[in-house]
Structure 1
Amino acid sequence: MNPTVMALRKGGIRYDSGTDLVRKTLSASASDSGLAQIVQASKEVSHSSLTKVICTVGVKSRTVPELVKLLEAGMNVARFDFSWGSMAYHSATLANLRAAMRETKMLCATMLDTRGPEIGVLLAPEDVSSFDARAPKAPIVLTQGARVTLTVDQTTPASSAFLPVNNPDLVNFVAPGDDVFVGQYLFTGSESSSVYLTVDEVDAANGYVRCTCRNDAKLKGVLLTVQVSNKGDALPTLGEYDKRVIREWAVPNEIDFISLSYCHSAEAVEECRACLAHAGGEGVGVIAKVERLGALRNIDAVVASSDGVILSRGNLGLDMPAEKVFLTQKMVLFKCNAAGKAAVVTRVVDTMTDTPRPTRAEATDVANAVLDGADAILLGAETLRGNFAAEAVTVVRKICRQAEKVFDHENHYQTQLPPAMVESGTLSQSEALASSAVRAASKTGAAMIVVFTRTGLTARLVSKYRPNMPIVSLVIPRVQQNSIRWVLRGERAARQGLLNRGVVPLLANPTNSDMNALLRVVFARAKKDGVVRENDQVIVIQKVGTTSVVKAVSVVF
């Protein structure tokens, strides 16, 4: 057997996972009628894709009308990237998002992406709130073989001879022979605004790193990112700026997730949780961004300690051979699925930053991410500064839906059971409930699964087993009180379900404790959305007294 396939299977990964059902589908489509179904335009489906979409907002996607378009196209999570822009700038965007949510009556989770130990080259003044307007009119032209110096003196004007960086520690961890990548913020790979450098000399006393250009490039924009191959772990994951943003922006604004940039260890995740707890944000989810080899070396601990993983393929692809990226994706997604943690894939339709249609390779890439087990797809430049933001979301959702139709649910279900076993060889009560509900839904042909929950955890466990129908997470608000006041909690738990495949969160009426009445509300909503019809079967997970129950009910209006 091929060594690569053996290695994947040894790690618990089916290299051919999902392909058997695809083969069956294609075989069934060999007839004229089957081929016609493939080549004709996709029909509208009763519900949108189960796979979620995260959109990076700002610049061209921060007004209420643009955010309304993104919500209606299928945005589930809005990502605020603090690699650029002030807290005031992002606050204005957040206010517009909430106005768009009120206008559309649609729920959207929020995610703060930390700056982390990112090193940048500033081609314009550091206040990049007006991103496009402040960009230099003429690009900086670099030619192959030319010498260029990275300097930590930020007062030095950017030119073809000098590039000022915003981190003085650069001179302390680079060495002659290191590879350095300098590219436009959220570079797509399809533009010429990035350059690969080789370090020739480090002059720490004067703050210079002298390099040779390995390719021609035209550097443009406001902010360029700098990445030194395999040296990212030399800097702390959570800097003072990130801690201040978490304390002064994320917690007061009730942000749902922190995307921890350049996370490489469980200790970094715990440091972020401690920072959140100190600021009063204990319920905020921490998503580890895997973008360095150091994170892969500690991947089991990173997955176990976090609430999910973002596989940042753009940065990771600069740290490892290109031919190994797909293996990394399969491995990381498998580990996230087995642990019941959200798995997010980035950099899928980069060309839609400038064009209304993805390439064939990009469309296939999105589908393969779904077949590999991704919970969500993250869009960066496509929605931040792209000309076709809403179109990108629509295209990704359509591709995801087609991939979900041939996803091998049975194989995935069977693959998830062994890792869920405890040492005694049995499932925990929560795992048993979740897996039993998915099995019952599959056997009865249920239209959906309804989970009564307070924290959203049970719904996320159901999602882990990848049922082929929506999972309605009905969050029951809970009262929290201290000596001064009491408040209802549950909104964040509902929104956080928007990151998991198939989960449709609803917040129950806190004044209604009648489970049957709440179920009728869910049925009415599902009927309106075209998910259920009269007499459809629905699987319900709920607690009756101290007993957890999985039951099948018929839809009655």
Structure 2
Amino acid sequence: MNIREANEKRRKNHVAIMLDTKGPEIRTGVLADPDNDAQLNEGQSVIITTNDDYKEKCSAERIWVDYKNITKVMSEGKIILIDDGLVGVKITQISDDEMSGVVLNSGNLGSRKGVNLPGIKVDLPAVTEKDVADLKFGVRMGVDFIAASFVRKPEDVEEIRKTLGPKGENIKIISKIENAEGLDNFDDILKATDAVMVARGDMGVEIPLEQVVLAQKMMIAKCNVAGKPVITATQMLESMIVHPRPTRAEATDVANAVMDGSDAVMLSGETAKGKYPVEAVQTMATICIGAEETLTYNDMYNTVRDSVLQMLGKVSVTETIASSAVKITNDIDAKMLITVTETGNTARLCSKYRPKPPIFAITQNKETARQLCLSWSVTPVLVGSVIGTESIIKRTIMEQKEEELLKTGDLVVTTAGRVEAQTGQTNSLIVAEV
């Protein structure tokens, strides 16, 4: 049974599908003795080569890499990190197709290991041949999001969008920021992308570790002001791959990501290969709920509102309605904010200003319903048609009362458009009592 079929059995729960591209990467070759790792010792000399004669003859003395221009972008004194930083090599001499270096720390080297070049701007393609094939597959399968690996500049996002083509024009792109170049160009990338992933794995190899937390906070804050969803990812509950409970540090990490303003936190190895995948999801959800209870929503609203007005001077009618709806919701202690949306834009704008109660986003578009799962506090409600907005909102309120999410006397704030089923027409705001 695939994800879509499983989701049909639980129609109230919308599940989005994200395709993660491999992205441009650099890898070592195959060891001459593939059955045994090569032992690299601290202080020894080693040659990094692009000569294809050594593609399957790597050893502790000579390591082939698949990036032909590595000798052009590297310079003496720079460091190459292999296998997520397990082994570091400081370059001492460079020629046409090879570089000499000194091993900085001892470690074992296997075949086809990843290579990082901290602080180096590489000229690798934004979209590889494998990425093109994967993106076309994603379009055929109707995925909701593309997680684009190693995005370094806004042109990378546009190239992915171009590859998706007309049939994939509604797929949202999540730019994974994983290196210094991506951080340097973050403001421009943010304008081009639909969402951002703070991918701390490779980032922790590409930039100094002590800077990762600062980069995380910076990116989350800017995404919040831009109103674009941001995911914090990598090693969040890493120990739960083998243990039934997380470490205290991991629990704190998840909570801090929520307090920073993340729209979502992500598990990877914990659910892909871990012994306790269900427990990992339950644990993460529990931590998130606890962290959200500590948030000061009025402060969050004011921070975003002040930043937006300072940057833009004025906003659209739709955003004015959305921000006003959130302000009223928080001020009168409303128990729910309901919005009718075709593209999801109004719901995302409401989410941007961080209302305390949940946002129920009514839409007739299945794709929109799934994609809204990524936005803070949004619960999508899929309907057959949004014609007859008033009756649809009333029915939604009654359904939530039956679910005991609302009770008689509760206040509900609603937004909609006077012209029904048209994009960009949100221009009304109503406060209703259940």
Question: What SS class does the counterpart of residue 309 from structure 1 fall into?
Answer: strand
SS across alignment from 1:473 = strand
> Contact 1:109–1:495 (CA<8 Å) still a contact in 2?
yes
Matched, 1:287 2:185: no
Instruction: State the aligned residue count.
Output: 424
Other-structure match for 1:375: 263
State which of 222, 237, 242 in structure 1 corresponds to 2:131. Answer: 242
Aligned to 1:271: 159
Q: Secondary structure at 2:379's aligned position in 1?
A: strand
Q: CA deviation at 1:446?
A: 1.8
Does residue 1:443 correspond to 2:331, yes or no?
yes
2:372 is the alignment partner of 1:497: yes
The answer as to whether partners of 2:73 and 2:122 remain within 8 angstroms in 1 is: no
Distance 1:146 1:325 in 2: 30
CA distance in 2, matches of 1:172, 1:380: 35
C-alpha distance after superposition, 1:398-434 (max 9, x if no partner)? 1111111011211111111123228884442122111
Matches within 5 A, 1:128-277: 139-152=37-50, 153=52, 155-157=55-57, 159-183=59-83, 194-205=86-97, 208-219=98-109, 224-246=113-135, 248-277=136-165
Q: Tell me the secondary structure at the aligned position of residue 330 of structure 1.
A: helix
Asked whether the equivalents of residues 251 and 281 of structure 1 are also in contact (C-alpha less than 8 Å), the reply is yes
Aligned equivalent of 2:361: 473
Matched, 1:340 2:210: no
Cα gap change, 1:160 to 1:263, in 2 (>3 Å):
same
- Comparing 148-157 with 253-262, greater Cα deviation is found at 148-157
More displaced, 307-316 or 542-551?
A: 542-551
Residue in 2 that maps onto 1:115:
22
Q: In structure 1, what is the equivalent of residue 418 of structure 2?
A: 544
Question: Using the alignment, how far apart are the partners of 2:65 and 2:245 within structure 1?
Answer: 35
CA distance in 1, matches of 2:402, 2:96: 65
* Structure 1 residues 266-324: Cα deviation after superposition (integer angstroms, max 9, x where no partner): 222222222223x5211111222111212222221111121121112222222323222
| Match of residue 184, structure 2, among 297, 300, 303 | 297
**Conserved 8 A contact 1:180-1:196:** yes
SS at match of 2:371: helix
Cα separation, partners in 2 of 1:148 and 1:99, compared to 1, 3 Å = farther
Read off the aligned partner of 1:286 and give its amino acid letter: I
Mind listing any 5+ residue stretches in structure 1 that lack a counterpart?
Answer: 1-63, 65-95, 125-135, 185-192, 477-489
Query: 2:7 is paired with a residue of what secondary structure?
Result: helix
Matches within 5 A, 1:7-156: 96-105=2-11, 106-121=13-28, 139-152=37-50, 153=52, 155-156=55-56
How far off its partner does 1:447 sit? 1.8
Give the letter aligned to residue 317 of structure 1: G
Structure 2: how far apart are the matches of 1:139 and 1:103? 48
Distance 1:449 1:324, change over 3 A: same
Paired with 1:410 and 1:196, the residues of 2 have a C-alpha distance of 47
Deviates more, 1:455-464 or 1:493-502: 493-502
Please list the CA deviations of residues 251-271 of structure 1 after superposition, one character each: whole Å capped at 9, or x if unmatched: 111121222222122222222
Partner of 2:433: 554
Q: Deviations over 1:82-117 (max 9, x none)?
A: xxxxxxxxxxxxxx3234323444321122222222
User: % of aligned pairs identical?
Assistant: 32
Counterpart residue identity of residue 300, structure 1: D
TM-superposed CA distance for 1:524, in Å, is 5.1
Distance (Å, rounded) in 2 between the aligned partners of 1:232 and 1:313: 19
Instruction: Give the Cα separation in 2 of the matches to 1:391 and 1:503.
Output: 24
| 8 A contact 2:55–2:65 mirrored in 1 | no
Aligned to 2:422: none
Kept in 2, the 8 Å contact 1:233–1:294? The answer is: no
1:345-356 superposed matches below 5 A: 345-347=232-234, 348-356=236-244
- C-alpha deviation, 1:140, in angstroms: 4.6
RMSD between superposed Cα atoms in Å = 2.8
- Higher normalized contact order (CA 8 Å, seq sep 6+, divided by chain length): 1
- SS of the equivalent of 2:113 reads strand
Compute the displacement of 1:150 (Å): 4.1
Q: Verify: 1:452 aligned to 2:359, yes or no.
A: no
Partner of 1:526: 400
- 1:383-462 matches, within 5 Å, as 383-421=271-309, 425-462=313-350
Amino acid of the structure 2 residue aligned with 1:326: V
Q: Distance in 2 between matches of 1:534 and 1:150?
A: 72
The separation in 2 between residues aligned to 1:547 and 1:351, in whole angstroms, is: 46
The one-letter code sitting in structure 2 at the alignment partner of 1:498 is C
CA shift, 1:212, in A, is: 3.2
**Partners of 2:39 and 2:60 within 8 A in 1:** yes
Any runs of at least 4 consecutive aligned residues in structure 1 with deviations exceeding 6 A, and if so which? none
1:310 aligns with 2:216: no
Residues 424 and 253 (structure 1 numbering): CA distance in 2 closer, same or farther, change over 3 Å? closer
Q: Deviations over 1:167-209 (max 9, x none)?
A: 434344233322122226xxxxxxxx9222223444544xx44
Note closer, same or farther for the CA distance 1:331–1:502 as it changes in structure 2 (3 Å cut): same
Task: Give the deviation of 1:527 after TM superposition.
Answer: 4.4
Secondary structure, aligned partner of 1:109: coil
TM-score for the superposition, normalised by structure 1 = 0.70
Q: Does the 8 A contact of 1:447 with 1:538 survive in 2?
A: yes
Per-residue CA deviations over 1:16-62 (Å, capped at 9, x if unaligned) read xxxxxxxxxxxxxxxxxxxxxxxxxxxxxxxxxxxxxxxxxxxxxxx
Q: Aligned in 2, Cα 1:167/1:108: closer, same or farther, shift over 3 Å?
A: farther
**Amino acid paired to 1:238:** V
Deviation at 1:163, TM superposition (A): 4.4
Check 1:538–1:117 CA distance in 2 against 1; reply closer, same or farther (3 A cut).
Answer: same
Counterpart Cα distance in 2 of 1:445 and 1:223 = 56
